[in-house]
Structure 1
Amino acid sequence: MWRDDGGRRRDGARLQERIRAIALMVGDSIEKFLHETLALLDSITRSDIASFIERLDTMQEGQVGTRSSLDAMAQTFAELLGEVRGLRSDVTALRSGLDVDVGRLEQRVDDLESRDR
């Protein structure tokens, strides 16, 4: 079932034709992709890029503002938590019959109410 040299040459020529056809298809696809990419890049203007950068800067500034607001809220919450713990210990002391400075309790309540407003 061996072919003579002529058959091998024909098979080799067909194989080369297929390889060329595939290479042309791949080359065409790459060329089309590059053409479309360049068209897209050409459509972007300097003002588009500047506008995009400005929006990024605005978003970043907003994040910084939000972060500082959250930090302030966390600080206030920590202070309120400390006050509540202090009041809790004063209530515990009252329950156990210990003397508690009523003026200090009233001052804490006034401070909490003023923060609430």
Structure 2
Amino acid sequence: MTTTFAVTDVSTAVQCCAPLVREPIPQSEAERLAVTLKALADPARLRLLSIVASSADQEACVCDLIEPVGLSQPTVSHHLKVLTESGFLSRSKRGTWAYYRLQPDALRTVATFLAA
């Protein structure tokens, strides 16, 4: 049995997909956003953000973040560093303790992108 395929004249072919209705994200912004989203792509980091966001004034001491996530202090500190470097948290030192505060603008940026 022989199968025959119809040849389509590409100059008269109808587009199979609709044209873009808005400008896609530029490469540089996609790379920056990927780094940001990668920082969120960890269950422990999401949990830490949630704990800080749920704390009074959206701020928590590192001493209050270790036990709820069930990880060692160095591991929690690493995750907090990633979240701080990505702009989701800010850090301030008070005596021997570090306090982390939620940065809502960083979350809004991600939410705006995902909602678009």
TM-score (structure 2 length as normaliser): 0.27
Larger Rg: 1
Higher RCO, 1 or 2 (CA under 8 Å, sep at least 6)? Answer: 2
Greater fraction of residues in strand: 2
Greater fraction of residues in helix: 1
